[in-house]
Structure 1
């Protein structure tokens, strides 16, 4: 694979993170926060004609099918299971249910999956259910949540399923996920991204639309909610402008899989 590719991915989900900090938010309010943030994100993507992949919960799509249909006209829609909230009991059947909701809303085949909170998932089941790729691996150590330092940080196959790990630096496995983007100076985050892009030839960056809404009224740690709203939107737009200067192609995850198979051979 000769070119360098950047995949912008967004977990389009309920704004349930306050639950992790003992703050209950009604689902209607959770959806509204996500919708406000999504509007800001889409304006930036549209201005720069950049495609993205949205990992959408079935619950969100069920409540906003027309919005998801419009999204699918310019961006890729992938599955983020049925619910994001940890207060909901997860069932493997939720994945199949979610995919059906998404495909009914978009009229398109859903190729990709990302497990909420990047929890473990049986890859062979995803393959059996017809998924092409999975992006549930964050190959880092995140205290209190997971240790995936033993996992490959490059795209690879597991059980016939293409794995698109969330990007981490080639050394020390520093994560390039949403918390890094929020809390590091843009110059440092951009430098780490450039180093990783040069080494691996691809970036899989992930964010949440709710981050781009006004979170000032919620009792969240500063590292989770700041910056937010217009300040974070401006930072994100500057990131796009800088990455565009790296001669990298912005592609959806499924389009990247096409490129990956062209270089590595079709998945059996």
Structure 2
């Protein structure tokens, strides 16, 4: 099964590059990208999981309703994207459940940073998808962690997909910077090895981020954003269908994994 997921959040990434952006723009840019993603999923008849911060969800309740009405999953991405306390684990789940009227079972830490698994379990989540099991200078040092799903503290851990052997990450930056045919080659190898693919993106990637004065992003971040990203994702989703790979939400996938 192909597990497409999107981290929908207030677009605060320019702060990492010394730029400021208003809160209104943070929400509107992510909202614009989320609408584009939903249109692409609808066109290609695919399902996905949306990890939302409470802050974003409260400002775009109509998008949260559309996500659910179109058969996708809502999961937690915390209360805020740039602030975390362990209390936010439970707080975010309860707030998203109240807002949506459905049970929230999954969590992803902002920026795929480490999170205490016992606290995840105490907060009532069934799965956690916060691990990128690769080595990326200045961000991840997780080559010692299992490439594929495993249980820890009674919580299913679902790492982001990396290629076999070399553990090349198949996350959003790879999608932007590799030739699409080669990304698809790595995705196919990984799917054949693991029998699933867990890859994640963000809504702001589907908007034009090439204005360096405004956003401050280096070329490897802004490359293939906006219309280029829309075309690439549309092609990739079509490729998923042509391969005959089923798609689904993470919660659907976890139902087929035996308990420890």
Q: Shorter-normalised TM-score: what interval?
A: over 0.9
After superposition, residues 197-208 of structure 1 pair within 5 angstroms as 197-208=191-202
Among 137, 162, 166, the residue aligned to 2:131: 137
Contact 2:2 2:245 in 1 (8 A): yes
Where do 4+ consecutive residues of structure 1 move more than 3 Å?
Answer: none
Counterpart CA distance in 1 for 2:35 and 2:75 is: 19
Secondary structure of the residue aligned to 1:82 is coil
- What corresponds to 2:246 in structure 1? 249
After superposition, residues 214-233 of structure 1 pair within 5 angstroms as 214-217=208-211, 218-233=215-230
Deviation at 1:69, TM superposition (A): 2.2
Among 164, 169, 177, the residue aligned to 2:163: 169
Contact 1:51 1:250 in 2 (8 A): yes
Deviation at 1:219, TM superposition (A): 2.1
Among 225, 237, 245, the residue aligned to 1:240: 237
Deviation at 1:226, TM superposition (A): 1.5
Counterpart CA distance in 2 for 1:65 and 1:40 is: 16
Counterpart CA distance in 2 for 1:245 and 1:66 is: 32
RMSD: 1.1
After superposition, residues 186-197 of structure 1 pair within 5 angstroms as 186-197=180-191
For structure 1, the residue ranges without an aligned partner over 5 or more in a row are none
| Residue 52 (1) aligns with residue 48 (2) | yes
Q: Give aligned pairs, total.
A: 256
TM-score (norm 1): 0.93
Q: Deviations over 1:177-214 (max 9, x none)?
A: 00000000100000000000000111001000110012
Deviation at 1:129, TM superposition (A): 1.7
Deviation at 1:227, TM superposition (A): 1.0
Contact 2:17 2:217 in 1 (8 A): yes
For structure 2, the residue ranges without an aligned partner over 5 or more in a row are none
Deviation at 1:36, TM superposition (A): 1.2
Counterpart CA distance in 2 for 1:116 and 1:126 is: 14
Contact 2:35 2:63 in 1 (8 A): no
Counterpart CA distance in 2 for 1:232 and 1:67 is: 21
Contact 1:62 1:101 in 2 (8 A): no
